[in-house]
Structure 1
């Protein structure tokens, strides 16, 4: 059943021919608006690309951050392969939307939360309403263009898009035949509370470790834990076995003595980031905490924009602060207080005071934590979920928590019948910057074989797009342990507990 709108309109149609992922493709591009019920709410802006040589399949892409722009329909799936065509070049009809609001051109990409002052726009984004509206409108256009429905409809996304992938499987179990969810921010409010706490910690005098100290910490963790998987290759394949003590980097007397050590306030900040955060009150979603970020488990801190940032959080929040800290700042201003002048550092996630009831309400929209995907599985849906162990923006420990909850709810047999979850050692958030391991795997072909032919993924291999090496892609909770042979070959590793 479609969600309420007041209709829509095709705004433009154009025929395009060009290289898409190195392949020549001719397609019709359709831009359209979906009109809101609330006349003060923004439109949902959407786009559909219709290849002339259609393969009878459709792919919807998720967004990122606060969304606000239509994703590139010629993009690849997250952690996608570099040696295979992207979906549009495979002649998929591809579609996506801005999730129901348009980002301000003056805001950093995907960091404009100002739409949150409108309830319909908030639900379009946070609850995922725009996903179903976009899916239904896009398939109407597909039917009009080709005179037929797609044989299969898939969804792929990472980060916010990964969260959106889980939302469609939860809320509309028959809408998609298969879903790829990468590094999903599924417990969006819970993570935000942890980010808010970390913003306060990092804003304390002397607590912020600058880029040089972040590099020191990263290199120290790698040096301490790299060989735990049997080979020293710059990748910590067994992060749960890494127990790095930040006190080994303590400056003499605990006072800041330069880039070669950490002061006591900086050690406190690092420990806070890598420690689970718990709040002493109840929220309606039932969440009680966030597992923290694995900076002491081999995370790659050479991408400071996503992690710490290069400057400490402050009011106003600097654009050089970490992405997550800026995300929290927007959330406080537009989701929580709906006051653009409110300082995000004045909201204490440990003791929110008058804001508790609003936080609790927002948790019902943002924490999409219903793990009963039984209806999706019974409808024949297949789910592939991936996360990089070194993700510095969305905790891999959080996704593992989601998987364990789902596994406990449905049981091992039913879970394995429709889902695979892989943690990629050394991979960070969306292969941003120069990760230790730039994950590249043809998850789309694996999903097609599973959904269309009943062939589940078997012994998958993930490549490093920046280095000439491969690793076995181990189903969680397994990880690749070096056995013998060439250390750049997947055949030299075995998946182990």
Structure 2
């Protein structure tokens, strides 16, 4: 059935914004139509509105994409009855894709047609990378390509075609938003497929495997032996001491260290005196472990193997390096970093890690063809910028996983390489790509800082109106705390008067 005939049959109303409102018949009809050589629609049904969740009625399409033998990429498209004319792709986390309604909810509530994918495997576990290994010591190249980059791209191209078929017109704009693995997927889209999106939001991006090497060497430092591991009570002690030393640097004491890079507090300040022991001080081995966590780890050639942990992030170390569960006694760094890394490097999630050295790991990482297929660290994004693309990166400054320093490093490299490729100054890229750092925010969310912000509206305004965001309002759930997030290298500073909990009392400079 051609698009013109489909339009006459299935599009019966028009919204106030001028975009079509499709009905149930049009939704169900998607199951029966030829969807293209790679896409097979499994089900298509209307889902009723959910006022409590602020969700409109929408057509939910569950489909499969099989671009090559051995590949089976699951996708879910959610097409709102009152469409704003725009397409939104969403990213996943860890080893998992994202086909959840909760992941699509924000975009749906704003009228976007939202696309998600399981990245080629149905498991929703962020720590289970078993799908990547087809035999001991070997990573399946088909699954690698699907997970690494192919699934998001094909989700996007088939999703756009389905949107045009359903609504009778192509999308006016296309955006991608993701954090963590989703942040890396945004990097991949910008670098590999610059035609896919008009605007991309990449939060806390795991764009290379130094995120995982960092987790490995941080765990080594804090678990060198039983005497090196600090307790939760000692983490409170350290965090309080750090705040006492550095919290007021931005002009107000609020439990948020806005510039952790300028904070030089040394854990030796809490060293136990002779004859002293217990939770109110740190032993010599604990001082060394905490100091190494702040300093990071380098190979003998000076290459970063573990990014420094930011001062002010201490309360987030516990679940990653100290705490655990009976199934995962070593904490999240073991599950999310070490097993993840060993899967990619050696095709064996249980490859020995306790004695691994920075020289060995970084050498194997640089030599691995698997890593080259996975990482998204090409700094030249001139093709994306040249066609008018806008790129908004953001990162929590106290993220205990992917380091904001890694994102800063990439952002600076991308500005340099892209400006050279386009023969323009780096300052001219300011209205095309920006980085926002979120003080007091952990990995994608959480922490003492305000961690709720609407980057989707910011990128939409940027693309539609050409106005780059000079700040983004950040708030905190169940709190009256708010702050402006500022484009790097500026930061929010207290104006010297007004409510210290209000963003209106702060300026970016």
TM-score band w.r.t. shorter chain: 0.7 to 0.9
Tell me by how many angstroms 1:160 deviates: 0.8
Tell me by how many angstroms 1:17 deviates: 0.9
- Within the candidate set 192, 195, 209, 2:215 is matched to 195
Tell me by how many angstroms 1:323 deviates: 2.0
- Within the candidate set 129, 146, 153, 1:124 is matched to 146
2:399 equivalent to 1:371? no
Counterpart residue number, 1:226: 247
2:167 equivalent to 1:146? yes
Tell me by how many angstroms 1:135 deviates: 1.0
Structure 1 stretches of 5 or more lacking a match? Answer: 77-84, 282-286
2:76 equivalent to 1:47? yes
Tell me by how many angstroms 1:44 deviates: 1.0
Conservation of the 8 A alpha-carbon contact between 2:230 and 2:322: no
Counterpart residue number, 1:12: 43
Tell me by how many angstroms 1:36 deviates: 5.0
Conservation of the 8 A alpha-carbon contact between 1:10 and 1:31: yes
Structure 2 CA distance for partners of 1:321 and 1:415, relative to 1, 3 Å: farther
Q: For residue 225 of structure 1, give the secondary structure of its aligned residue in structure 2.
A: helix
- Within the candidate set 9, 27, 34, 2:58 is matched to 27
1:269-348 map, 5 Å: 269-280=289-300, 288-290=303-305, 292-295=307-310, 297-302=311-316, 304-305=318-319, 307-311=320-324, 319-348=328-357
Partners in 1 of 2:164 and 2:471 — Cα distance? 37
Q: Deviations over 1:112-170 (max 9, x none)?
A: 111222111112223x1211111112222212222221111100000110111111011
Q: For residue 318 of structure 2, give the secondary structure of its aligned residue in structure 1.
A: coil
Question: Is the radius of gyration larger for structure 1 or structure 2?
Answer: 2
1:50-199 map, 5 Å: 50-67=79-96, 69-75=97-103, 86-103=106-123, 109-117=125-133, 118-126=140-148, 128-187=149-208, 189-199=209-219
Which one is further off, 173-182 or 190-199?
190-199
Partners in 2 of 1:178 and 1:20 — Cα distance? 29
Of structures 1 and 2, the one scoring higher in RCO (CA 8 A, sep 6+) is: 1
Conservation of the 8 A alpha-carbon contact between 2:473 and 2:503: yes
- Within the candidate set 427, 434, 438, 1:424 is matched to 438
Tell me by how many angstroms 1:100 deviates: 1.4
Q: What TM-score does the superposition give when structure 1 sets the normalisation length?
A: 0.86
Which one is further off, 475-484 or 461-470?
461-470
Tell me by how many angstroms 1:198 deviates: 2.5
- Within the candidate set 387, 400, 407, 2:408 is matched to 400
Tell me by how many angstroms 1:265 deviates: 2.0
Conservation of the 8 A alpha-carbon contact between 1:73 and 1:95: no
Conservation of the 8 A alpha-carbon contact between 1:291 and 1:398: no
Structure 2 CA distance for partners of 1:456 and 1:332, relative to 1, 3 Å: closer
Tell me by how many angstroms 1:243 deviates: 0.8
Structure 2 stretches of 5 or more lacking a match? Answer: 1-35, 134-139, 420-424
Over the aligned positions, Cα root-mean-square deviation in angstroms equals: 2.6
Structure 2 CA distance for partners of 1:264 and 1:20, relative to 1, 3 Å: farther
Q: For residue 260 of structure 1, give the secondary structure of its aligned residue in structure 2.
A: coil
Tell me by how many angstroms 1:302 deviates: 4.4
Structure 2 CA distance for partners of 1:8 and 1:256, relative to 1, 3 Å: farther
Tell me by how many angstroms 1:20 deviates: 6.3
Conservation of the 8 A alpha-carbon contact between 2:211 and 2:401: no
Q: For residue 54 of structure 1, give the secondary structure of its aligned residue in structure 2.
A: coil
Q: For residue 393 of structure 2, give the secondary structure of its aligned residue in structure 1.
A: strand
Partners in 1 of 2:389 and 2:184 — Cα distance? 17
Structure 2 CA distance for partners of 1:350 and 1:251, relative to 1, 3 Å: farther
- Within the candidate set 369, 379, 391, 1:383 is matched to 391
Q: For residue 452 of structure 1, give the secondary structure of its aligned residue in structure 2.
A: helix
Structure with more helix by fraction: 2
Partners in 2 of 1:421 and 1:21 — Cα distance? 34
Q: For residue 45 of structure 2, give the secondary structure of its aligned residue in structure 1.
A: strand
Which one is further off, 228-237 or 194-203?
194-203
Tell me by how many angstroms 1:469 deviates: 2.3
Structure 2 CA distance for partners of 1:49 and 1:210, relative to 1, 3 Å: same
Tell me by how many angstroms 1:329 deviates: 3.1
Tell me by how many angstroms 1:237 deviates: 1.2
Q: For residue 103 of structure 1, give the secondary structure of its aligned residue in structure 2.
A: coil
Conservation of the 8 A alpha-carbon contact between 1:300 and 1:426: no
Tell me by how many angstroms 1:447 deviates: 1.2
Structure 2 CA distance for partners of 1:166 and 1:357, relative to 1, 3 Å: closer
1:203-218 map, 5 Å: 203-205=223-225, 206-218=227-239
Q: For residue 387 of structure 1, give the secondary structure of its aligned residue in structure 2.
A: strand
What is the number of residues matched between the two proteins? 460
Partners in 2 of 1:418 and 1:86 — Cα distance? 24
Partners in 1 of 2:393 and 2:67 — Cα distance? 32
Tell me by how many angstroms 1:71 deviates: 3.6
Structure 2 CA distance for partners of 1:447 and 1:21, relative to 1, 3 Å: farther
Structure 2 CA distance for partners of 1:441 and 1:402, relative to 1, 3 Å: same
Tell me by how many angstroms 1:493 deviates: 2.0
Partners in 2 of 1:165 and 1:92 — Cα distance? 18
